[in-house]
Structure 1
Amino acid sequence: MTPFHHAAIRGRAEVIGLMLSGCPDCIEDETERRENALHLAVRNNRFEAIKMLVDWNREMNKEYLLNKKHEQGNTALHLASWKKTRPGDRRSARQHKCKPRLPGSECRKP
């Protein structure tokens, strides 16, 4: 796990922004469980971090990261819908080309 992941877990949107400005590639870092920062922010209900990460992915044309699956096969949107997080989390992801249902995927509890 990287410092970038820790910022996502703690919901430190301002730190996430600074880290992305200095190292844009850190957005692609994954944990041992193949979770990216968006998975971690969703899992920890960090709305400001979720918004920052979704917006950054859109602005940098990295929407494919919104559809990344972790080791159990779930995207961040799967986790958000399973956790019943704030409605804006799911709406924000849908607005930015996140696929709520990938072909052949079945949402599994984390």
Structure 2
Amino acid sequence: MTTRMEPSGVKYEFVEAVERLDYYAPRGYHPVTIGDELCAGRYVIAHKLGFGRSATTWLAEDRRAKSELPGKVIVQNLLDSFKLSGPNGIHRCLVTDAARINIHEAKDAAYH
């Protein structure tokens, strides 16, 4: 399912330690703000978790699915995927359970 979002009227300003604004361009990042609803309102953006050169990670509430699968707390599952169409192109969105550590902790653990 592709969700069509209208261009945002938000004007971004440079903030230290935040992704580069020139990445918000055609074939670059899709502009997302807290409170945005994705995939026909199923996912509501709650918080930005991190970013890299080719992706931004957001925490979102899933308004529909609740899971009580055994082992859920230790296995990272792909719960959903969808395409999002916006002013900078079409973006593949992957939905997983929230991780228990941040990306910097994961990188440090992998190094050791």
Task: Please classify the TM superposition score into its range, dividing by the shorter chain length.
Answer: under 0.3
Q: Which has the larger share of strand?
A: 2
Output the TM-score relative to the length of structure 2: 0.26
Structure with greater Cα Rg = 2
Output the TM-score relative to the length of structure 1: 0.26
